[in-house]
Structure 1
Amino acid sequence: MDIKEEIESILTQIGLKDPEFEIEMTSTGRIGGFVISESFMGKSHIDRQNMLWDKLDRILDEDKRAKIIGLLTMTPVEAEEADAA
């Protein structure tokens, strides 16, 4: 399992409602992208990030965490609005 698949698997475990992952790996092996779920509705961006990173910090070692450039959290409505812009 590559790190992209591992991150998606870990984030599926936090119980997000119908999560969608738009995660890419760069040519240098770094990871970044979007995590889209209705579970983020009504939550601040800090709370959303804490949901993800509480789990990632517990499971991934420091080397793997260092490869993550950023994971942006959005609701489906926010993702649609971003696509339309």
Structure 2
Amino acid sequence: MLIRTIAVLFTIVTAVSALTYTVNDDGVNYRPGPGSQYPPFGTVNKGQNINVLRRSGDWIMDDLWGGRAGIWIHAA
């Protein structure tokens, strides 16, 4: 019984933990894929929070707080 409880608690903690970054410049393009060959969908500005989902080289896939999900931003 104790082993099952610990396993469930660990799963819950893992599921809710995510990296949150804050954009540190204005006019940062976000794109549908990890590269400048993808056209910009829009821009984000300094202070915008994003939830990081994964990385591909210098690009991060993220969800904008209160905005689009699954977008890519270059991490300089």
TM-score band, normalised by the shorter chain?
under 0.3
Richer in helix (by share):
1
Richer in strand (by share):
2
Normalising by the residue count of structure 2, what TM-score does the alignment of the two structures yield? 0.24
Find the structure with the greater CA-based Rg: 2
Q: Which has the higher contact order (CA 8 A, sep 6+)?
A: 1
